[in-house]
Amino acid sequence: MMAPDPIRLSLRMYDLLIHNAWMVTVNAQGDVIPDGMIGIHGDVIAHIGPTPPDAPLPAARETIDAGQGIVLPGLVNAHTHLPMTVFRGMADDLPLQAWLTDHIFPAEATHITPDTVHWGTLLGCAEMLLAGITTCCDGYFLEDAVALAVAMTGMRAVLGQGVIDFPAPGVPDPAENVQTAAAFVRQWKHRSPLITPSIFCHSPYTCSDKTLAHAKAAAADEGVLFQIHVAETREEITADGGRPPNGSLTARLAQLGLLDADTLLVHGVWFSPTDIERVAQNGCGIAHCPESNMKLAAGIAPVPAFLQAGIPVGIGSDGCASNNNQDLLREMDMAAKLHKVAGGGPTAMPAPQVLAMATRDGARAIGLGDHTGTIEKGKQADLVILDSTHPAMCPIYNPVSQAVYAGSGDVVRDTIVAGRVRVRNRTLVDSPIDGIMKQVRAIGRAIGKPPIHRPIADTEKGSCS
């Protein structure tokens, strides 16, 4: 056989061509191409560059005119609990313990089944695709049902089967928690190019040292990501019963062998400078969930210090019961503004840095940095087109700050995952959204309607009248 002809190779027709947009690459140089063009072969970005002014567009099976909008790498939601989409708005404005023990835990015990997990996951994925999220990193129980549903939507995902030292949906006997998670990983390891299995330990306060070490060992054996909630609330630090050596939660985790580059720490709100140094030295990623942390009044994570220390930090929406949406464009805006007012000043966490967290750095934090998170040749074709006809997208001085500060899921026109158009002109291409919502509404009715939320009386709220 002859070697392939390089000229013919370069002329191979693209499967998909996107042009007429600001291309925000989020590459290491932060290149933005004002009138750019992306050529895609199969699921891979084959070309990114300026559109030649005086030449016809290259041939492609499909050409998408981005209408002078903004193209970003597909957003990476670094922390979700997809099935909890069925709990959206079930319990709000409550003290943390009442929220968890009176509402979330009982609802999970009663209502989380393979069926509710299926529909909640489908709705969560639909919401995320419509908001420009092409990848999420999930952790929950009955994760096999999550994986089946995610696979139906065509999203990219890292999916972690939950491990906790209590009976959980699908794992009635906690003694089987780690082996159930390991079995999930083996089952999904080579099943779909878009789904990467993982193990998700709930937290250091709901898992024994033995469970934590076994679960991490199982993840390491399979070479997959290990996820864990850490230091979300102040109580978690102060009430840790003297267990951690040196009074530090991360020292305990390090001693158990949990901290390495294949571990994603979620929250880290109460990390001390020593914790941050330890996390950085061990190469862990962090998922920052600003809206959830704010809504539950958990605290403000020291994200500028994470970044300063060299930790890859992603942004996560967290579950829908503590947010109550899964819109990473809004989450970026919230993150940038929160850390400015929380002491960083107006130059803290500028738009390009926040966008990198929601794309490139989030992808690295969840172990997919080689595959997604930037618009670069050879990367997966995970892309979002922001709609230049939305009023909030006018005028455009700077596409990066436009996306971060003016955008929301509302401005997403098209979403492409692995070269496949999943949202076209604000509509899901192959997902029966009406049917999904009908099912989730029925689940909501079964979970039950709490009493109508009444505002506190005028006198209490300080009416002047």
To the nearest whole angstrom, how small is the minimum distance from the Cβ of residue 40 to a second copy? 24
Which residues are CB-neighbours of 462 under 8 A, at least 6 positions away?
A: none
- Tell me the longest C-alpha to C-alpha distance in the chain: 89
Tokens representing residue 40 in the block: 């895609």
Site for a second copy contains 298 (CB under 8 A): yes
With respect to a second copy, which residue has the nearer C-beta, 203 or 401?
Answer: 401
Write phi, then psi, for 464 (nearest 5 degrees). -90, -15
> Using CB under 8 A as the criterion, what x/- string covers residues 11-50 for binding a second copy?
---------------x-xxxxx-x----------------
How many angstroms separate the CA atoms of 23 and 71, rounded?
Answer: 5
Which span sits near a second copy by CB under 8 A: 48-56, 151-159, 197-205, 300-308?
300-308
Site for a second copy contains 238 (CB under 8 A): no
Member of 140, 141, 188, 306 binding a second copy (CB under 8 A): 306
For residues 391, 396, 399 and 401, what is the CA-based torsion angle, rounded to 10 degrees? -80
With respect to a second copy, which residue has the nearer C-beta, 29 or 56?
Answer: 29
Member of 42, 95, 167, 247 binding a second copy (CB under 8 A): 95
Q: What is the CA radius of gyration of the chain?
A: 22
Site for a second copy contains 437 (CB under 8 A): yes
Member of 408, 414, 415, 417 binding a second copy (CB under 8 A): 408
To the nearest whole angstrom, how small is the minimum distance from the Cβ of residue 395 to a second copy? 3
Site for a second copy contains 452 (CB under 8 A): yes
Which span sits near a second copy by CB under 8 A: 53-61, 196-204, 243-251, 290-298?
290-298
With respect to a second copy, which residue has the nearer C-beta, 187 or 398?
Answer: 398
Peptide bond into 324 cis (omega under 30): yes
Tokens representing residue 120 in the block: 């909640």
Site for a second copy contains 369 (CB under 8 A): yes
With respect to a second copy, which residue has the nearer C-beta, 183 or 300?
Answer: 300
With respect to a second copy, which residue has the nearer C-beta, 26 or 254?
Answer: 26
Which span sits near a second copy by CB under 8 A: 35-43, 70-78, 214-222, 325-333?
325-333
Site for a second copy contains 432 (CB under 8 A): no
With respect to a second copy, which residue has the nearer C-beta, 190 or 449?
Answer: 449
Binding to a second copy (CB under 8 A): which residues in 108-167? 123, 126-127, 130
Binding-site residue total for a second copy (CB under 8 A)? 105
Which span sits near a second copy by CB under 8 A: 2-10, 45-53, 222-230, 451-459?
451-459
How many angstroms separate the CA atoms of 372 and 369, rounded?
Answer: 6
Asked if residue 275 lies in contact with residue 247, where contact means CB atoms within 8 angstroms, the answer is no
With respect to a second copy, which residue has the nearer C-beta, 119 or 200?
Answer: 119
Look at phi and psi of residue 139 and say left if phi exceeds 0, alpha if psi is from -120 to 50, else beta: beta
In angstroms, the Cα distances linking 90 to 103, 106, 126, 449 are 8, 12, 20, 8
Site for a second copy contains 242 (CB under 8 A): no
Member of 41, 272, 299, 376 binding a second copy (CB under 8 A): 299
Site for a second copy contains 397 (CB under 8 A): yes
Which span sits near a second copy by CB under 8 A: 57-65, 132-140, 186-194, 386-394?
386-394
Q: Is 272 exposed, middle or buried (0-12, 13-18, 19+ CB in 10 A)?
A: middle
Neighbours of 219 (CB within 10 A): 27
Which span sits near a second copy by CB under 8 A: 139-147, 210-218, 346-354, 378-386?
346-354
Asked if residue 16 lies in contact with residue 35, where contact means CB atoms within 8 angstroms, the answer is no
Site for a second copy contains 392 (CB under 8 A): yes
Q: Is 193 exposed, middle or buried (0-12, 13-18, 19+ CB in 10 A)?
A: exposed
Binding to a second copy (CB under 8 A): which residues in 170-229? none
* The dihedral sign for the CA sequence 183, 204, 212, 159: positive
Give CB contacts under 8 A, 24+ apart, made by 232-236.
232/203, 232/266, 232/267, 232/269, 232/270, 232/293, 232/298, 233/96, 233/269, 233/270, 233/296, 233/298, 233/299, 234/270, 234/299, 236/203, 236/204, 236/205, 236/270
SS3 65: strand
In angstroms, the Cα distances linking 312 to 77, 232, 277 are 14, 18, 13
Which span sits near a second copy by CB under 8 A: 3-11, 206-214, 218-226, 345-353?
345-353
With respect to a second copy, which residue has the nearer C-beta, 3 or 452?
Answer: 452
Site for a second copy contains 234 (CB under 8 A): no
Site for a second copy contains 263 (CB under 8 A): no
In angstroms, the Cα distances linking 398 to 24, 33, 87, 197 are 10, 11, 37, 37
To the nearest whole angstrom, how small is the minimum distance from the Cβ of residue 102 to a second copy? 13
